[in-house]
Amino acid sequence: MQTPLTDPGRVADAPSDNWVYRLLPRWCWPYAQLARWDRPIGWQLLMWPCWWSVMLAANAQVLTAPPHTGRIVLHLLLFTIGAIAMRGAGCTYNDLVDHEIDMQVARTRSRPLPSGRVSRTQAKVFMIVQALVGLIVLLQFNLFAIVLGICSLAVVAIYPFAKRFTDWPQFFLGLAFSWGALMGWAAAFGGLASAAVALYAGSVLWTIGYDTLYAHQDKEDDELIGVRSTARLFGGQTKAWLTGIYSATVVLMALSFWLAGASWPAFAGLAVAAAMLGRQIAVVDIDDGEQCLALFKSNNRVGWVVFAGLAAGVVVSLI
């Protein structure tokens, strides 16, 4: 099997044995790459704040009446579909904005747009189709959640440009990627509360932390072309910064759980997640791009642990 570096149909920063290349016809590959279907970690990290918020709301609901299991499952499914669609639309939009920059970065110049395998018009049409799928999902929720979801587009639109005007583009990514922490609660209650806001703030910080690890892969190229990031900003002090960021993440999530009245399994899950985040800080070598990528991807397991704790909290409260 050819590697991404020798096969012009593949990209350098994604696994060459992904299901995309085994199951989809070759003409679909550039679109799958635009949507990052060959790199599911992105939609998974976008999904987790949504799922956490759904279960946080369920923990709050169980204090007064048993939550509707079917509705919870439906919301989890809808948010999964929405995360895949909107992450794909967002990545396609990001690639359109960063077309020229991606041509100058070794890791990204093999992507569909800089390599010329799709035109900008084709990418724009594909982005619209994905966004329409996301809109269909959004319309399944209550009016408040629909309006709240539409408001997120302002942050999504700004993010690709943030690396040009601030050293904190990861903060803008966090604002966009963590919006689901508000959405799950809004879908359940038709409004917001301090518990959801605290979860959102914690999720934003979590995103800054894990995307700083990701950005360390590109810091040399970013410095050459003038792209800004927290990886470049923190530099050799990355471990100290991550310690503060991840600590604040855990504190805010714990506050969120307490405000929602979550039971002890939620806090136990958060404690395990805190230990996992601490391990990332302890072992990271910011000059080892492959390790930084692996640690970045390990945050999917952090998401699972936090979700499992919240789900177990609902079960325990019902017993």
Kindly list the structural domains of the chain, giving each domain's residue range(s) and its CATH number in brackets, ordered by start.
19-318 (1.10.357.140)
At residue 283, the pLDDT reads 97
At residue 4, the pLDDT reads 42
Distance between CA atoms of residues 202 and 302, nearest Å: 13
CA distances from 143 to 46, 211, 248, 269, 295 (A): 22, 32, 32, 32, 38
At residue 14, the pLDDT reads 67
At residue 318, the pLDDT reads 84
Answer yes or no: are the C-beta atoms of 250 and 277 closer than 8 Å.
yes
At residue 99, the pLDDT reads 81
At residue 6, the pLDDT reads 45
Mean pLDDT by 10 residues, the chain (319 residues): 51 73 89 91 96 97 83 97 95 87 75 88 95 97 97 91 91 96 97 98 98 90 82 95 98 98 97 98 95 96 98 91
At residue 13, the pLDDT reads 63
